Structure formats: structure tokens, C-alpha cells
């Protein structure tokens, strides 16, 4: 009897399951790439996760993968179809950062994270939608389209890596890379019901990542399962001579940290993360998930992170300040969009930036420029950096009492498309639980932990610097004890 899987079902499998099928030669890499391209053609008109689909390249890379699989020289991710957030540089492929100002920009080099995935044998399906320059929590700030949440097409997928999360949830890629500055991997992972990890700052090279806030940005994976997340992290982590902020700390094989129970693990629970603004359905799901951690053998410990309430305001001084500096390079001279307007160079600069940047990017540039200006630098930027130090020190003290910290990832489930576009503060509050770990530069993962009003809820596990192993191990134990990771939206079967 032929037990080969139906090609239509292949995009619903995990990376580990797909590699097993490829290794056994039960499927081929070209067949697998075609299955994903078919899925993209079937559903992406409604999800709008992709800005660019690289079908021809994907099939070429898949043919190479089949040859290596046949010769026994396969990499760890050989033949696995993936996609990248459109701020990760790809040589010869347009990289827009979700902005008109970079429309038509084709990088002359590959980002290190992408280069390492290619070395591991992964196959590129395309580039994914995002909030412009990673500034947003809903992927509605893209200059090209608003991505929809596969669980409910009338709601947002989160942001700024909304295209990356939606693509995994809809089976349009086996895994994706996003970037996380204040929660932009974890929050969309929670809203789309997938796994999303923000690594320790410096664990993954930022070379080739188009910068938003350089002291905060980190590339991270979005996957169906925690094991898949560990596999991708193994491939992309480690020191890079092209990035002076990448760390020489040794990278262990993170798949060896995956465990089935939590005996001997102390889990901190900060009450500051269970206050005003947390939807009752989200709190219920997260509290039940924390109790499941206890049932798996964990010891629950109360910890306090009192400066959590200041983290959001602090972030919206530091991140825009860095953005105002980083985005000064987009003037229409060297690359990207250039306005035809203006009688002299200064007028042309102004016209290019006025026409090329969207409203949220302009808002943050103005906030950052104000915070760095004479007379306000000490009052805002310097003070914010002091608060950032306090936030980090509070995490350090908490980790004296526990091995990881459990919190909600997002205070709400996915909200309606358009519902917060006229209320920037409400949008910013979407990241209230993810920003503190970003400020401290420590790793954090979001793993599916239930549903509220039919929409996914995420549990966030935060760990010590460079201790991705502990949070991945705990997340894996939790995931194996539930069936949340096996749930799929009805998008595909709905036709």
C-alpha cells in the first residue's frame, strides 16, 4: 500500500516531520516546494502574508536540495521551505522593509541569518509583509497591504512580523524569520497561534537586518513547534565577524535541551503582568497554562518586576531615538525611492521623505528627534536609559529566585483590522508585556496556550541571557502536554 502523504497536506506538517519524510525519500524537495507554492497560491490572496514570492528560485534551490539528499550530504534544514520578513537582506531579491522609500531596492549581499539557513539547506519561498520599518503591532502600517490573521480574516495577525506569523499559521512556509525590537516576533506569534522566539541580544547576527533600533533589534524564528524553533536557532545562532554586537558565547545544540517534564525548574510569576488591560479570556488561558507548568513538576515562585509599568514609556523614547538616527540615511540619493519634486537638494530630501515614509514612521522619527534634541536629551533619552538599567537589574534579581518567568505574551487576542489605526497609544499597549525583556536584552518565547473568543492566546516564557535552552525546554514540555500546537485554522479547508 502507498503510504506517501498527500502533497496538499505537506504544508501542515512540522519541520521535523518534513525532514523525516525527505530523509526517507518518501517525498522530494521539489515536490515539497511545489506543495508550498500551491498553498501560497491557494490562500495568500486572502492572507496577504507575502510581498514577493520567489517561485523560480525556490524550485532551483529545491533541486539542489534533492541532489544533496540523494548524495547523503544534506544540511540540518535541507529542502525545508521557509520565508523571510522583508527587512532581512537577500542578494538579488527586492527588500522593501514594507516601505515605499525602499521600493525597488535590491541588496547586493545576503544577511548572515539567511546565508546560514542556505548553508543548512533551507529553500526560500519569498519575502513577507511587515509594518513599515518594523514600526507597528498589526502589520497594517505596511505601505503595500494589510496582512490578515488566518484564524479570522477580519482581525490582525499582530506585528511587526505579522506576515511571518501568518505565513506559518496558514501553512505558507514551514518556518519563517522575523525581527523583534519590542515584541515583533512574540506578539504576532501569540495572535496567530504559533511559536515565536526573541533570542538574547547578540545571539543571532544582525548583519543584513535593516535597522529600526540597533540596541534592541534581534532576528528570531517563527515555527509550528518548539522543536522546530530549536532546529532553526541551531542554524542561525553564533558569532559573526560582520556584526560587532554578535556574541562569542558558545551555542549549544538546543534540541538536546528539550524535555518532557519540569522537575526541578523554578518558574517565576510576576503579578505586575496580570493587571489592568489584560483581557479575562487571555488571563484565564495563561493562568491555566502556568498551573500546567506546576503539574509538570515546576515550582511556582512569586517574583516582582515593579518597573514593568515604566517599560513601555521608556521604550518609546529609546526606540524612536535610535530610529530617527538610523532612518536619516533614506534621502533618495543612494538607493530606494527618490521624489521628482524639489528645486534644490534640500527640497528634494524633504519631498522624498514626505512621500516615501508612512505616518507611523514619521511619528516615531519626530518623537525620537525631539527626545535627542538640545534641552531634552538629558530629560528624556538619558533618563530612559537609566530606567532601562533598572528594568534589567530587576530581571537579574528575579532570576536569583527562579529559572524562568511566565507571563502573558499579549494582553489581548487579535483585534479587528482598522480598530486601532486612529489610536496609536492603544496600538502601543499591544507590546506592554513583551517590551521589558527586549529592554533587558534577554531571551523570551511565546508558545500557544489556548483560545479566547475562538482566537489564539500565547504564553510567554522569559529566561536569563544566553539561556535559550531553559525556555525552549520548558516550552517543549508544556507543548507536549497540550494539543494547542496541533490546532490549525480552517482557512485552507474553507477554500
Residue positions annotated with a catalytic role = 85, 160, 184
Cα maximum dimension of the chain: 77
Which residues share a beta bridge with 127? 52, 84
- 160: preceding bond cis by omega (within 30 degrees): yes
Length of the chain: 495
Is the separation of the CB atoms in 61 and 117 below 8 Å?
no
Q: Phi and psi (nearest 5°) for 456?
A: -65, 150
CB 280 within 8 A of CB 248: no
> Do β-strands 81-85 and 444-452 pair in parallel, antiparallel, or remain unpaired?
unpaired
CB-facing half-sphere around the CA of 249: CA atoms within 13 A: 17
Spatial contact of 138 and 397, defined as CB atoms under 8 Å apart: no
Amino acid at each position: 500500500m502507498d503510504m506517501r502523504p498527500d502533497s496538499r497536506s505537506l504544508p501542515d506538517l512540522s519541520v521535523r516531520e518534513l525532514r523525516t519524510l525527505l530523509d526517507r525519500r518518501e517525498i522530494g524537495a521539489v515536490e515539497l516546494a511545489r506543495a508550498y507554492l500551491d498553498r501560497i497560491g491557494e490562500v495568500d490572496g486572502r492572507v496577504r502574508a507575502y510581498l514577493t514570492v520567489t517561485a523560480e528560485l525556490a524550485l532551483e534551490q529545491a533541486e539542489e536540495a534533492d541532489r544533496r539528499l540523494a548524495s547523503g550530504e544534506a544540511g540540518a534544514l535541507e529542502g525545508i521551505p521557509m520565508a523571510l520578513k522583508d527587512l532581512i537582506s537577500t542578494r538579488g531579491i527586492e527588500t522593501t522593509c514594507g516601505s515605499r522609500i525602499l521600493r525597488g531596492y535590491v541588496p547586493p549581499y545576503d544577511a548572515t541569518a539567511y546565508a546560514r539557513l542556505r548553508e543548512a539547506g533551507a529553500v526560500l519561498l519569498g519575502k513577507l509583509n511587515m509594518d513599515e520599518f518594523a514600526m507597528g503591532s498589526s502589520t497594517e502600517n505596511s505601505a503595500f497591504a494589510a496582512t490578515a490573521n488566518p484564524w479570522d480574516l477580519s482581525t490582525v495577525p499582530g506585528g511587526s512580523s505579522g506576515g511571518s506569523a501568518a505565513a506559518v499559521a496558514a501553512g505558507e512556509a514551514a518556518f519563517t524569520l522575523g525581527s523583534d525590537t519590542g515584541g515583533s516576533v512574540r506578539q504576532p506569534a501569540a495572535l496567530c497561534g504559533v511559536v515565536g522566539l526573541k533570542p538574547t541580544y547578540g545571539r543571532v547576527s544582525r548583519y543584513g537586518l535593516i535597522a529600526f533600533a540597533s540596541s534592541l533589534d534581534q532576528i528570531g524564528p517563527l515555527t509550528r513547534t518548539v522543536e522546530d524553533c530549536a532546529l532553526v536557532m541551531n542554524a542561525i545562532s553564533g558569532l559573526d565577524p560582520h556584526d560587532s554586537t554578535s556574541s562569542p558565547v558558545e551555542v549549544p545544540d538546543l534540541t538536546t535541551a528539550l524535555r518532557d517534564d519540569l522537575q526541578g525548574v523554578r518558574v517565576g510569576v510576576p503579578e505586575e503582568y496580570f493587571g489592568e488591560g489584560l483581557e479575562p479570556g487571555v488571563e484565564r488561558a495563561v493562568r491555566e497554562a502556568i498551573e500546567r507548568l506546576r503539574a509538570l513538576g515546576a515550582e511556582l515562585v512569586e517574583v516582582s518586576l515593579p518597573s514593568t509599568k515604566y517599560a513601555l514609556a521608556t521604550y518609546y523614547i529609546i526606540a524612536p531615538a535610535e530610529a530617527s538616527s538610523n532612518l536619516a540615511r533614506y534621502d533618495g540619493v543612494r538607493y530606494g525611492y527618490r521624489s521628482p519634486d524639489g528645486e534644490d537638494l534640500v527640497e528634494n530630501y524633504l519631498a522624498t521623505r514626505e512621500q516615501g515614509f508612512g505616518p507611523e514612521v514619521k511619528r516615531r522619527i519626530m518623537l525620537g528627534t525631539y527626545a535627542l534634541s538640545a534641552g531634552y536629551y538629558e530629560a528624556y533619552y538619558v533618563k530612559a536609559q537609566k530606567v532601562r538599567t533598572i528594568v534589567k537589574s530587576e530581571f537579574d534579581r528575579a532570576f536569583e529566585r527562579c529559572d524562568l518567568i511566565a507571563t502573558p505574551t499579549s494582553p489581548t487576542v487579535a483585534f479587528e483590522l482598522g480598530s486601532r489605526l486612529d489610536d496609536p497609544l492603544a496600538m502601543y499597549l499591544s507590546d506592554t508585556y513583551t517590551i521589558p525583556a527586549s529592554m533587558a536584552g534577554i531571551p523570551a518565547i511565546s508558545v500557544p496556550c489556548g483560545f479566547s473568543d475562538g482566537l489564539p492566546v500565547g504564553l510567554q516564557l522569559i529566561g536569563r541571557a544566553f539561556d535559550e535552552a531553559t525556555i525552549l525546554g520548558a516550552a517543549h514540555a508544556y507543548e507536549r502536554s497540550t494539543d494547542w500546537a496541533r490546532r490549525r485554522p480552517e482557512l485552507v479547508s474553507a477554500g
